[in-house]
A and B are shown apart, each in its own frame.
Chain A
Amino acid sequence: QKEVEQDPGPLSVPEGAIVSLNCTYSNSAFQYFMWYRQYSRKGPELLMYTYSSGNKEDGRFTAQVDKSSKYISLFIRDSQPSDSATYLCAVRGDSSYKLIFGSGTRLLVRP
């Protein structure tokens, strides 16, 4: 079993839709949770960075962490075609700085 599981998609939605992206993880020691966006042939770009449980909002993006169920989510409101990319969740614990990534979900926002 992978430490971080993520549905690979693709997820196709119409422009303006609310998008929900999710990951589950196995190790309760993880304390830091991140979402990165990656366009084709580019590096991952940090979208959200949260510590422990709770919600964090930044513009059209909201990240949620539920440590009790080991579940993390990213919501995108008013999705745009420019949001079409692969979304990667990542986690890490307190004792190591290495990030453990999910395999990524490919999102397509149709005009």
Chain B
Amino acid sequence: DTGVSQDPRHKITKRGQNVTFRCDPISEHNRLYWYRQTLGQGPEFLTYFQNEAQLEKSRLLSDRFSAERPKGSFSTLEIQRTEQGDSAMYLCASSFNGELSNQPQHFGDGTRLSIL
């Protein structure tokens, strides 16, 4: 069990650029979640997948944000036309949830996005 892995750890970009983050969940976890955390706040839910299906999206996820999990394994989160307000830590979590199992979410160390 290598834990949830996120790449890159830190991304610095200019306003207006597109950025993409990658998350590799814990092996065999069927659910994958994205959260955003700003300084001094708790993480805020963005979206989650069960296998490759995106089942819930927050209103925080504007049209500039898109997430995919094409083969039910790793996931990508893309932000288009970045804005200053997108500066935050983007956290990925995963869990295994089945009919008889409801396991907690385990988080990666996040990607810190800084918009210049």
Which A residues form the contact surface with B (CB < 8 A)? 4, 6, 8, 32, 34, 36, 41-46, 49, 51, 88, 90, 96-104
Asked if residues B45 and A104 are in contact (CB atoms below 8 Å), the reply is no
In contact, A43 and B41 (Cβ under 8 angstroms): no
Q: Which parts of B61-77 form the interface with A (CB within 8 Å)? A: none
Cross-chain contact B41 with A41 (CB below 8 angstroms): no
- In contact, A42 and B109 (Cβ under 8 angstroms): yes
Check A97/B104 contact, CB under 8 A, given A42-B109, A103-B40, A104-B42. Answer: no
Contacts of B33 in A (CB 8 A): 97-99
CB–CB B109/A99 < 8 A: no
Taking the closest CB of chain B, its distance from the CB of A43, in whole angstroms, is 4
The A-contacting residues of B in range 84-116, CB under 8 angstroms, are: 91, 95, 97, 102, 104-110, 112
Selected A-B contacts with CB under 8 Å, 18 pairs: A4-B42, A41-B109, A43-B4, A43-B91, A43-B109, A43-B110, A46-B104, A46-B105, A46-B107, A88-B42, A90-B42, A97-B97, A98-B56, A99-B45, A99-B105, A101-B44, A102-B42, A103-B40
Instruction: Count contacts between A and B, CB distance < 8 Å.
Output: 60
Residue contact A97 to B48, C-beta cutoff 8 Å: yes
- Contact residues, B27-62 vs A (CB, 8 A): 31, 33, 35, 40-45, 48, 55-56, 58
Q: How many residues of B contact A (CB 8 A)?
A: 27
Q: Are the CB atoms of A103 and B110 closer together than 8 Å?
A: no
B contact residues around A6 at 8 Å (CB): 42
Indicate the member of B48, B58, B105 with the most A CB atoms within 10 Å.
B105
In whole angstroms, what is the CA distance A22 to B107 when docked?
A: 22
Q: Distance in Å from the Cβ of A66 to the closest Cβ of chain B?
A: 20
Which chain A residue has the least Cβ–Cβ distance from B10? Answer: A41
Residues in A whose Cβ lies below 8 Å from that of B91? 43-44
Give the nearest-CB partner of B92 in chain A: A43
Within 8 Å CB of B102, what residues of A?
A: 32, 51
Contacts of A49 in B (CB 8 A): 104
